[in-house]
Structure 1
Amino acid sequence: MEKLPKAAVFTLIGLVILAIVIIKSSVVIESGQAGVLFKTLNDGVDRENTYGEGFHIIAPWNDMIIYPVRQLSVSDKMRVLSVNGLEVTVDGTVWYQPEYDKLPYLHQEKGREYESQILAPAISAAARSVVGRYTPEQLYSSKRDVIQNEILDEVQKELSTQYIQVNRVLVEDVTLPPKIKSAIERKLEQEQEALEYEFRLARATKEAQRQKIDAEGKAVANKILSASLTDKILTEKGIEATLKLAESPNSKVIVVGGGESGGLPIILGNQ
């Protein structure tokens, strides 16, 4: 077998080295990611630039550290104390993401483990601070939305200089000790029954008032009607009724001015 010429060997070696350099120098940053460049032979982290999605060529002795920069979430169950010292469990989720323009600072000052080193302690401290302002009853019944917003405010303040953006906090569940939960449920049930009783009582009172007003109105109407029915009016009404009866074919005899009807006509002989 013939030996390769020295020029061919050097060319082959050069191509291999070039391929290695190209592979080492080529960086592809995927969608939803960003990169931080570490310059090994220079000043370390490039704090001035955040490298976005796409293909990048870097010096083979440098390194590109890639971070996810789309919105992320972390869920946890935290045991915290209420205002009266009772332990409750808060089950929540936090949505967050690194600040894109500050990613080099985040990498240099906090590192790749920033979620466990910075974010988680801030969430835990905020939850303890906020939940500690409320009683178990408030936590169980009506304060969940308020708690979410207050925890969000606390976390955002804590991380405002940490290059982490917190977008939302969701409190999914608040678990109380079984005895406390049962006591609160009984109290809420009793309050609901009391409200229902008050509603029925108020409705009955209004109905009684309506009936009283209706009866008083009828009494006034009857009083006015009785006062207006004089003897003369009654006599005229009786004459009108008698005339209508006289027109009937069944009427036989009409006696005018008889009986005890105050002089009203009397009809006899009806069949």
Structure 2
Amino acid sequence: MIGIATIVGIVMIAKTAVTIDSGRAGVLYRTFGGGVVTEEPPLGEGFHIIAPWNKVIIYEVRQQEILENMKVLSSNGLEIELETSAWYQPEWSKLGLLHKEKGERYVSRILQPAIRSATRSVVGRYTPEQLYSTKRDSIQKEIYKETKEIVKSQYIQLNEVLVRDIGLPPTIKDAIERKLKQEQESLEYQFRLEKAKKEAERQRIEAEGKALANKILSASLTEKILQEKGISATLELSKSGNTKVIVIGSGEGGLPVILGNQ
């Protein structure tokens, strides 16, 4: 009898004990008490004791990732292959409602259709060239925004949507790359022209400045001032111990003519 009681006890403990691992949470289902518990927080990590006739449904509540590969149409009807990924997690406080209304397959029932719908809507507003080059970041943000709007009332927390790859037909891709290369070469040529124009303008301004300075200097040098400067320079030269000045007459403006200098 003791052995039977022990076995029964072990079975009861096994049925009433629930251990929830890290990063997970449990939704309690009361068989005789209204089914899924939605008015109470979910069961957190650790060890829990429940009635043997109840059960616990365990969910991953950490951030998870889902990959989506799809074919969508651009604004001009060209088929585009798009690879996206979404980071998501269930809303912890509403885990009971998520289980009751959406179920354990909420990703395939709610999130994936929302991502596909938002992606088709956004990509359909852009040309292949915009998708491939200039608008990739904008497209990514728009897909995230529209997907989040769809799932915001579905007890799903959407953290990010990433556009990982955009696939175009080879002929279209080559044409876009040639056009981008030509545009880059044109921009480079315009830059060189602008740089040459600025250098020419700098040289013109510098030349005008020098010409103006020379004009002002010429206007200020009268004959009398030049004569005084010549006399002053001659006097300074005569004071030098290594200089011999022999005056044999007068030069232009009445200045002495220097014949010897050692």
Q: TM-score normalised to the size of structure 1?
A: 0.86
Structure-1 residue corresponding to 2:81: 89
1:52 aligns with 2:44: yes
Superposed displacement of residue 266, structure 1: 2.5
Superposed displacement of residue 191, structure 1: 1.7
Q: TM-score normalised to the size of structure 2?
A: 0.88
1:235 aligns with 2:219: no
Structure-2 residue corresponding to 1:73: 65
Preserved contact between residue 253 and residue 267 of structure 1 (Cα < 8 Å): yes
* Aligned partner letter, 1:136: P
1:16-55 map, 5 Å: 16-49=7-40, 50-55=42-47
Please give the root-mean-square deviation of Cα atoms over the aligned residues, in Å.
Answer: 2.2
Preserved contact between residue 246 and residue 254 of structure 1 (Cα < 8 Å): no
Structure-2 residue corresponding to 1:255: 248
Q: State the secondary structure of the residue aligned to 2:27.
A: strand
Q: Of the candidates 158, 164, 182, which is equivalent to residue 156 of structure 2?
A: 164
Structure 1: how far apart are the matches of 2:237 and 2:87?
94
Taking structure 1 as reference, are residues 59 and 239 closer, same or farther at Cα in structure 2, changes over 3 Å only? Answer: closer
Structure 1: how far apart are the matches of 2:171 and 2:75?
17
Preserved contact between residue 28 and residue 53 of structure 1 (Cα < 8 Å): yes
Superposed displacement of residue 244, structure 1: 4.4
Taking structure 1 as reference, are residues 245 and 44 closer, same or farther at Cα in structure 2, changes over 3 Å only? Answer: closer
**Structure 1: gaps spanning 5 or more residues:** 1-7
* Aligned partner letter, 2:88: Y
Structure-2 residue corresponding to 1:4: none
Identity among equivalent pairs (%): 60
Taking structure 1 as reference, are residues 244 and 160 closer, same or farther at Cα in structure 2, changes over 3 Å only? Answer: closer
Structure-2 residue corresponding to 1:223: 215
Structure 2: how far apart are the matches of 1:199 and 1:227?
42
Superposed displacement of residue 269, structure 1: 5.8
Structure-1 residue corresponding to 2:186: 194
Aligned length: 260
Structure 2: how far apart are the matches of 1:133 and 1:174?
15
Q: State the secondary structure of the residue aligned to 2:70.
A: strand
Q: Which has the larger radius of gyration?
A: 1
Preserved contact between residue 79 and residue 89 of structure 1 (Cα < 8 Å): yes
1:145 aligns with 2:132: no
